Amino acid sequence: MSRLWLALVALAVVSFGLLPAVEAAPAAQPGPCQFVLGFQTLHNLIPNIVGDCVTNEQHNTNGDALQETTNGLLVWRKADNFTAFTDGFRTWVNGPFGLQERLNTQRFDWEKNAKVASTQVINFVPPQTTSQQVSGSCFASSLAATRADAWRCMSDSTIYDPCFSLPGNSSSLTCVMNPLDSSTFVTLNLTQPLPAPSPVPAETHPWFLQLADQTVCNFFTGATGGVNGERINYGCSDGWDIVGLPQMGTTWTASEVLLAPNSLNVQESATVEIATVWQ
């Protein structure tokens, strides 16, 4: 598996909402690879940008598809027939308004209006082991995850929040920045016992969100500002922020704003639907 493939699959998880792993690594093809269907159409529109195929189309367990090229990665999402190509920095989307180009950190207005039938609520179960290990201690209950087994911890000058207790293990925790990306998981080996936990607040909140447009959002645990009397609670991967807490229902929603640089002035706002929440 090439380094480019690994890097771009990880990018697709965040940018396009694919599952965190494909079924199998792209293997050597018995014959020449080819583009088909939507990937062929997108390649024909921008052949020099997409480049030549390296593998044939690979399918994920949820029906989504990936195909590695000499210049990046083609992505097709089954849920909404979304076809795109990314070079790791920019994305070309063949959507309802034809071919459009944006940064991977941006979303078009029509993407902000994406819909989901219902919101999936995940009670996160931390893995027992990770590929990274640090040593440190915890000084308070988590500010990100409002649950009794989550902690706010530090290793050297780095704060990890949330870190989750592991059943039957009093010597280490699993700290998670992005539950969709296992490369962000860290094992924290404790140098001192855990502090007494704080009571779980009556008003709980998710610590991680994936919106219907596939943007991902982390809960802010440090100092932040306010908009219209409500705290800016989440920062999202496309540069927008979520004000207040998500509104629960069959489909959860959130109030999202795009702030002017280095200010609290709202440039754009939207009510967005949430595909998945992690609690």
Choosing from 142, 164, 190, the residue where a domain stops is: 190
Is there a domain that residue 181 lies in?
Answer: yes
**Residue 201 counted as domain residue:** no
Among 190, 223, 244, the domain-final residue is: 190
Please check whether residues 88 and 19 belong to one and the same domain.
yes
With a cut of 70, say whether residue 3 has pLDDT above it.
Answer: no
Residue 83 lies in a domain: yes
Tell me the pLDDT of the chain averaged across its residues.
86
The pLDDT tens digits for 227-265 are 989 999 999 988 899 999 999 999 999 999 989 888 899
Task: Considering only residues 199 and 85, tell me which one the structure prediction assigns the higher pLDDT.
Answer: 85
User: Is residue 20 predicted with pLDDT exceeding 60?
Assistant: no
What pTM, to 2 d.p., does this model score?
Answer: 0.72
Q: What residues contact residue 250 under an 8 Å CB cut-off, 6+ apart?
A: 118, 119
The residue with greater pLDDT, 150 or 8, is 150
Per the listing, tokens 């496309």 go with 238
The predicted structure's pLDDT at residue 105: 74
132-186 tens-digit pLDDT: 999 999 999 999 999 999 999 999 999 999 999 999 999 999 999 999 888 899 9
8 and 96 co-located in one domain: yes
Residue 230 forms part of a structural domain:
yes
| pLDDT for residue 238 | 84
Q: Is the pLDDT of residue 74 over 90?
A: yes
Q: How confident is the model at residue 62 (pLDDT cuts 50, 70, 90)?
A: low
**DSSP helix, strand, coil percent of the chain (3-state; round to 5):** 10, 40, 45
Share of the chain above pLDDT 70, in %: 87
My answer on whether 85 and 130 are in the same domain is no
Range of the structural domain that residue 235 is part of: 208-278
Q: Summarize the confidence of residues 10-14 as an average pLDDT.
A: 47
185 and 214 part of one domain: no
Nearest to 108, CA basis, from 131, 91, 130, 125: 91
> Does a structural domain hold residue 223?
yes
Cα dist. 121→164, 165, 228, 274 in Å?
Answer: 18, 20, 28, 10
Domains held by the chain: number: 3
Q: Quickly list H helices, the chain.
A: 3-16, 37-45, 47-50, 109-112
Examine the domain organization and report whether 8 and 100 are in the same domain: yes
Looking at the structure, do residues 84 and 131 belong to the same domain, yes or no? no
Q: pLDDT confidence of 11, banded at 50, 70, 90?
A: very low
> Which of residues 190, 225, 243 is at a domain's end?
190
Contact 75, 214 (CB under 8 A): no
Question: What tokens appear for 64 in the block?
Answer: 């989504």
Does the pLDDT value for residue 26 go beyond 80? no
What are 114-142's pLDDT values in tens digits?
Answer: 888 899 999 999 999 999 999 999 999 99
Mean pLDDT calculated for residue range 97-109? 86
> Would residue 163 count as lying in a domain?
yes
- Note whether residue 227 is domain-resident: yes
Domain presence at residue 199: no
Are residues 70 and 153 both part of a single domain? no
